[in-house]
Amino acid sequence: MAELTDLGIADIRDGFRAGDFSAREVAEAFNDAVASARSLNAFIVETPEHALAAADAADQERAAGSVRPLSGVPLGIKDLFCTEGVQTTAASHILEGFTPTYESTVSERLFLAGAGMLGKLNMDQFAMGSSNETSYFGNVISPWRRNDGGNAPLAPGGSSGGSSAAVAARIAPGATGTDTGGSIRQPAAFTGISGIKPTYGRCSRWGIVAFASSLDQAGPMARDVRDCAILLEAMAGFDPKDATSLDTPVPEWEANLSSDLKGKTIGIPKEYRVDNMPGEIEALWDRGIELMKDAGANVIEVSLPHTRYALPTYYIIAPAEASSNLARYDGVRYGLRDLPDGANLQDMYAATRADGFGAEVKRRILIGTYVLSAGFYDAYYTKAQKVRALIVRDFAEAFEKCDLLLTPTAPSAAFALGEKSDDPLAMYLNDVFTVPSSLAGLPAMSVPGGLDQAGLPLGLQLIGRPLDEQGVLNAALAIEERAGFVARPSQWW
Amino acid sequence: MSVDTETVRKIASLARIAVTDGEVEAMTGELNNILGWVEQLGEVDTDGIEPLAAVIPNQLRLRDDVITDGDVRDKVLANAPQAEHGFFTVPKVIE
């Protein structure tokens, strides 16, 4: 039999139910894999005891004749999800040592479904970043390397970089991610795995450390489309504790998977052919179009005229919301307190926040504070909200002509650590293809499409109408079945 | 619009983040780069467009007016950097 850590979510679930192995064997195999991959720095905290306890419960239940949807499956949990009794930091210094006394709704749903937790996954600090270089706990190293023999450490993408690295390295069969402007899809593309951001409101935000509340959505990251469907079914659902949670039934996404796209129309947004698009990305996109046609879909060109304004809109709205959300870190109720000698309360706030936030987080808080400040609010924030309305309208008009949109996920393959970290704007441009659908709250997914000349994975993105996760998953499955992506990083860690 | 070092100091003060002179210098340049870049939104004609705050239509719900929480003082205080006698404590604020 293949190694247990080579199995994905569906294979573990089904093999466990069939009695091919015990849940404890699975948990032990992944716990060992996690412990032997510390050079990737994918985990901030390892919780082997949590994985084992869930596994033992699963084994006992199976012996008694009952199993739950994720019995026997261990997962990595991004450190943005509050986990009861386990440190939750959002990869920041200001929350170092914070141990929630409650469980986030999404992680609770996964655990109630029988899953165990391997540990808390590293990420960009407060989910602000596209390379996992803003974590207080150090960079995550992608398990992938270029085939030039240079061994330059590569970015696993961000902000869910621990999640992407762990799944790609097969030290976790699946992981939770969160996506505010591309933080599930871009890291999935960089590491040759799949990840879906559902419609805004599908997954409860309760207990997830807030970044930009009108954009933040949780979603799964896993090795293939089916595994994403399985995890998303467990994560999604109405939660009265989140005022933006959608009170709508969770479909049976896995049972309804179908890669037959006959009768479907796929739109190709012409504005996504940006200047200086690398030839390899263009070739990947063209290949994706061929795969869609092969699956029976009709492919047409569509227009999303405000695409080029999505990034600047995002970089007003997201920092504005972040500056408000992050005001709660004051050194009083939880986390770090920095109290210089003789300091008063205001000094304590300022010292705590200066010491506790990283450079990128401070940058975004300052931008957000500025665009929300008296005299500038209308010129920046209200203007951005109006452009956001136009971006949403673009998508609605496109979806009158087509069922789904196909684009590249990111404008390049993974870059080397340090390559872009000195230039915030260059880093922001990584999210050029993922941000528009975030602003519109649409379901969107990245699926591996091929390799570039350096042997690194490239991802294709599918964007659907609100609540049409099924359409997105099905088209992604059609690509997955036809792209024949089997590459995996060879183990050096 | 561009910001000068004095504006950056004021923003940092509003955001309650202590900054050094060197940080103010560096941030002034960075913020101007980013703000200059977002200025391009000025090109977009948004006359008559309502600003959008909630992207997926959703109704705000009302729940029954009953107690659903409480009696969790120790849990609330569990992560406080400093708590005494069942309260959060901070430096003296009244001279």
Q: What is the pLDDT of residues A454-465, one digit of tens each?
A: 999 999 999 999
> Is it the case that residue B36 has pLDDT exceeding 70?
yes
Residues on chain A touching B52 (C-beta within 8 angstroms)? 385-386, 388-389, 392
Q: What is the dihedral of CA A7, A13, A15, A16, to 10 degrees?
A: 120
Q: CA A395, A400, A403: angle at the middle one, nearest 5?
A: 80
Q: Using the predicted structure, report yes or no on whether residue B95 has a pLDDT greater than 80.
A: no
| A84 backbone dihedrals φ, ψ, rounded to 5° | -60, 125
Residue B16 lies in a domain: yes
Answer whether residue B67 is part of any domain: no
CA A336 to chain B, closest CA, distance in angstroms equals 7
For residue A217, the chain B residues in CB contact (below 8 A) are none
**Mean pLDDT computed over every residue of chain A:** 97
Q: A217-222 and A43-46: which strand pairing?
A: unpaired
Which candidate in B5, B10, B17 is best for mutational testing of the A interface (most A CBs within 10 A)?
Answer: B17
A439-493 confidence digits (pLDDT tens): 999 999 999 999 999 999 999 999 999 999 999 999 999 999 999 999 999 999 9
Tokens of A113: 């479904």
Distance from C-alpha of A378 to C-alpha of B51, rounded to nearest angstrom: 10
Question: Rg of chain B over CA atoms, in angstroms?
Answer: 23
Residues of A in contact with B62 (CB under 8 A): none
Q: What is the CATH number for B20?
A: 1.10.20
At residue A2, the pLDDT reads 66
User: What would the mean pLDDT of A252-276 be, rounded to a whole number?
Assistant: 96
Could you tell me the pLDDT band of residue A368, with boundaries at 50, 70 and 90?
very high
A275 vs A358, more confident: A358
Q: What is the pLDDT of residues A150-173, one digit of tens each?
A: 889 999 999 999 999 999 999 999
Q: Give the integer Cα–Cα distance in Å for A196 and A352.
A: 36
Q: Nearest by CB to B41, which of A309, A344, A346?
A: A309
**In chain A, % of residues over pLDDT 70:** 100
| Beta-strand relationship, A74-78 and A116-121 | parallel
Å between B24 CA and nearest CA of chain A = 11
Closest CA to A338 of B24, B14, B18, B10: B18
Indicate the average pLDDT of chain B.
93
Whether A183 is catalytic is yes
Q: Check residue A137 and give its pLDDT.
A: 98
The C-alpha atoms of residue A174 and residue A164 are separated, in whole angstroms, by: 9
Quickly state the pLDDT bin for B1 (edges 50, 70, 90): low
Task: Name the catalytic one among A71, A107, A142, A183.
Answer: A183
How is the beta sheet containing A404-408 ordered, strand by strand? A43-46, A116-121, A74-78, A174-179, A217-222, A194-197, A444-451, A457-464, A404-408, A265-269, A298-302
Q: How many CA atoms lie within 13 A of A282 on its CB side?
A: 9
Would you call the peptide bond into A159 cis, given omega within 30 degrees of 0 as the criterion? yes
The pLDDT value given to residue A150: 86
Check pLDDT > 60 for residue A1.
no
Average pLDDT of A79-107?
98
pLDDT of residue B92: 86
pLDDT exceeds cutoff 60 at A402 = yes
Nearest to A178 by CA among A73, A226, A241, A106: A106
Is A78 one of the annotated active-site residues of the chain?
yes
Report CB contact under 8 Å: B80, A334.
yes
Whether B28 is covered by a domain: the verdict is: yes
Question: Who has greater pLDDT, A276 or A69?
Answer: A69
| 8 Å CB contact of A373 and B55 | no
**Side chain identity, residue A229:** A
Looking at chain B, the whole-number percentage of residues with pLDDT higher than 70 is: 98
In a domain, B85, yes or no: no
* Residue the block writes with tokens 């569906």: A10
Q: Is A330 within 8 Å of B16 when comparing Cβ atoms?
A: yes
Told to judge if A159 belongs to the known catalytic residues of this protein, a careful annotator would answer yes
Partners of A74 in the beta sheet? A116
Task: Select from B40, B52, B56 the Cβ nearest to the Cβ of A389.
Answer: B52
**Tokens coding A230:** 């399985």
A217 in helix, strand or coil? strand
**For residue A295, which phi and psi values (nearest 5 degrees)?**
-85, 0
Strand duo A298-302 + A444-451: pairing: unpaired
Taking residues B5-11, report their average pLDDT: 97
- Binned at pLDDT 50, 70 and 90, residue A318 comes out as very high
Which residues have CB under 8 Å from B35's CB, separation 6+? A367, A370, B1, B2, B3
Q: Measured between beta carbons, which residues in chain A are less than 8 angstroms from residue B21?
A: none
Report the candidate in A86, A1, A74, A60 with the shortest Cα–Cα distance to residue A31. A74
The two three-digit tokens of residue B84, written as one number: 């005494």
**B93 and A345 Cβ atoms separated by less than 8 Å:** yes
CB-CB under 8 Å, B90 with A345: yes
**Confidence tier at A406 by pLDDT (50, 70, 90):** very high
Assess whether pLDDT exceeds 80 at residue A43.
yes
CA distances to A42, A43, A79 from A35, in Å: 11, 10, 18
Residues A331, A349: contact at Cβ < 8 Å? yes
Element containing residue A196 per DSSP (H, E):
strand A194-197
Q: Report whether A212 contacts A200 (CB < 8 A).
A: no
Q: What is the mean pLDDT of residues A25-51?
A: 98
Q: How many domains does chain B have?
A: 1
Q: Is B14 within a domain?
A: yes
What tokens does A49 get? 């005891």
Instruction: Write down the pTM of the prediction.
Output: 0.97
Active-site choice (A71, A104, A159, A164): A159
- Closest by Cα among A489, A388, A463 to B49: A388
- Ordered DSSP codes for A32-77: HHHHTTGGG--EEEE-HHHHHHHHHHHHHHHHTT---TTTT-EEEE
What is A4-260's CATH topology? Amidase signature (AS) enzymes (3.90.1300)
Band of residue B53 on the pLDDT scale cut at 50, 70, 90: confident
Q: Closest residue of A to B8, CA-based?
A: A366
Range of the domain at B28: 5-41
The three-state DSSP-derived secondary structure of A110-166 is: HHHCCCEEEEEECCCHHHCCCCCCCCCCCCCCCCCCCCCCCCCCECCCCCCHHHHHH
Q: Which chain B residues are closer than 8 Å to A246 by Cβ?
A: 56, 58
> Please, is A283 exposed, middle or buried when counting C-beta atoms within 10 Å of its C-beta (0-12, 13-18, 19+)?
middle
Give A174's strand partners: A222
Residue of B nearest to A317 (CA): B53
Cβ neighbours of A363 in B, within 8 Å: 27, 30-31, 34
- Rounded to the nearest angstrom, the minimum Cα separation between A380 and chain B is 8
Q: Kindly determine whether residue A199 and residue B56, on different chains, have CB atoms separated by under 8 Å.
A: yes
Subunit contact A390:B41, Cβ cutoff 8 A: no
